[in-house]
Amino acid sequence: MRCVWWTLAAGALLCLPGGAGLDNGLARTPPMGWLHWERFMCETDCGKNPSGCISEQLFMQMADMMVSNGWLKAGYRYLCIDDCWLATQRDENNRLQADPTRFPGGIKKLADYVHARGLLLGIYQDVGKATCAGYPGSQGFYELDAQTFADWGIDLLKFDGCNYGTLELLEDGYRRMSIALNRTGRNILYSCEWPLYARRLTKINYTEVAEYCNSWRNFDDIEDSWTSLKYVIDFTASLQGELVAAAGPGGWNDPDMLVIGNFGLSWDQEVTQMALWSIMAAPLLMSNDLRDINPRSKALLQDQEVIAINQDPLGVQGYRLLKVI
Ligand SMILES: *[C@@H]1O[C@H](CO)[C@@H](O)[C@H](O)[C@H]1NC(C)=O
Ligand SMILES: *[C@@H]1O[C@H](CO)[C@@H](O)[C@H](O)[C@H]1NC(C)=O
């Protein structure tokens, strides 16, 4: 519960439900940026698809676009790598390493490139033995991997939940990685998928999730279609009693990526996603191709009045008041 002195008219003390998020100083408003998954998925064939494969070149080009085309200025600061960046094996000291052909310079060099442009770099790992696409996971290596990310200059970790084993290992893994990230001393925003996986097995304690995570996914991956968007919106509304109360500065419900600027949504549907994600105080992580995006979608994603609602420092998540049909 957080209380705000409301000075309009007579003045009243207004108390709002709202979680206290992870106390690491990060994500005081919903994080904004770009994440490769929905648009580029696990394309690893750079021979066949040189401009769309998961490679350092893709991220360097997106970094350039984020700066030159107004995205950073509009608030989109985190450039995030998703699954399929890893080599198939850890190195001889058990440290994670990027795929050597697709990331020949390594992640540290990419982070330097991104930081030199005023952006922040996000990376992906998994709480289980393997990532969802089958690359080496963090289970058994939480402290080492957190330190590796800190050494490379990583600013955000998306921590997936495939291949976790038991519920106890899943929940313990999410807690341990949070503590490990904290102990590195580096500011690393921690984006969890804990409730999405744990919901199948137990009731979620959102107070606890918010103590460990800066944001958390509750529902399946979004796809580039209205059907998918509608699932996410309806799911969020059906659980809003729990979800709205959990959100607040430092910790946010994550309904997954903005798919605006791709192929599957009409203009009205794009407007709907931007409006609802802003009202829901959702992380604004676009997944699209910034090298090739139509001007209308770009203007929508950069609309400062809508973004201001999403970035309201009070951090109250809006909810559905009425369902007509
Ligand atoms: C680690 O946790 C402490 C206590 O919650 C917090 O004050 C500090 O800012 C955190 N540090 C980092 C680097 O996250
Ligand atoms: C939920 O987690 C909080 C914080 O860790 C704890 O204080 C509370 O007892 C938990 N609630 C339940 C029902 O387990």
Q: Nearest-CA neighbor of 122 among 99, 95, 152, 165?
A: 152
Pocket flag, ligand 1, residue 295 (CB < 6 Å): no
DSSP 98: B
Q: DSSP assignment of 293-316, as one string?
A: --HHHHHHHT-HHHHHHHT-TT-P
Residue 13 pLDDT exceeds 80: no
With cut-offs at 50, 70 and 90, classify the pLDDT of residue 325.
confident
Pocket flag, ligand 1, residue 182 (CB < 6 Å): yes
The tokens for 76 are: 């989109």
Distances from the Cα of 186 to the Cαs of 24, 26, 148, 178, in angstroms? 10, 11, 11, 12
With cut-offs at 50, 70 and 90, classify the pLDDT of residue 16.
low
Q: How many CB atoms lie within 10 A of CB 159?
A: 26
- CA 22 to ligand 1 centroid distance, Å: 9
Q: Nearest-CA neighbor of 56 among 119, 115, 9, 98?
A: 98
- The pLDDT of residue 206: 97
Residue 304 pLDDT exceeds 50: yes
Average pLDDT of the chain is 95
Ligand found nearest the CA of 21: 1
- The pLDDT of residue 15: 47
Residue 181 pLDDT exceeds 50: yes
Looking at the CA of residue 205, tell me the nearest atom of ligand 2.
1
- CA 264 to ligand 1 centroid distance, Å: 41
Q: How do 215-217 and 252-254 pair as beta strands?
A: parallel
Looking at the CA of residue 22, tell me the nearest atom of ligand 1.
5
Pocket flag, ligand 1, residue 11 (CB < 6 Å): no
Pocket flag, ligand 1, residue 211 (CB < 6 Å): no
Residue 302 pLDDT exceeds 60: yes
Q: What confidence tens digit (pLDDT) does each residue in 115-160 have?
A: 999 999 999 999 999 999 999 999 999 999 999 999 999 999 999 9
What is the number of alpha carbons within 13 Å of residue 5 lying toward its C-beta? Answer: 1
Q: Which CATH fold topology does 18-306 show?
A: TIM Barrel (3.20.20)
Residue 84 pLDDT exceeds 70: yes
The tokens for 25 are: 């100083």
Pocket flag, ligand 2, residue 207 (CB < 6 Å): yes
Residue 104 pLDDT exceeds 50: yes
Residue that is written with structure tokens 């309904």 in the block: 255
Q: What confidence tens digit (pLDDT) does each residue in 28-59 have?
A: 999 999 999 999 999 999 999 999 999 999 99
Q: Where are the beta strands (DSSP E) in 42-171?
A: 78-80, 120-126, 156-160
Mean pLDDT of 79-97: 98
- CA 170 to ligand 2 centroid distance, Å: 17
Mark whether 82 is an active-site residue.
no
Mark whether 160 is an active-site residue.
yes
Q: Which residues contact 194 (CB under 8 A, 6 or more apart)?
A: 161, 170, 171, 174, 204, 209, 212, 213, 216
- CA 282 to ligand 1 centroid distance, Å: 23
Q: Pick the catalytic residue from 83, 160, 256, 289.
A: 160
Q: What confidence tens digit (pLDDT) does each residue in 225-249 have?
A: 999 999 999 999 999 999 999 999 9
- The pLDDT of residue 18: 58
Give exposure, 87-111, as e/b (b: 16+ Cβ within 10 Å): beebeeeeebbbbeebbeeebebbb
- CA 140 to ligand 2 centroid distance, Å: 26
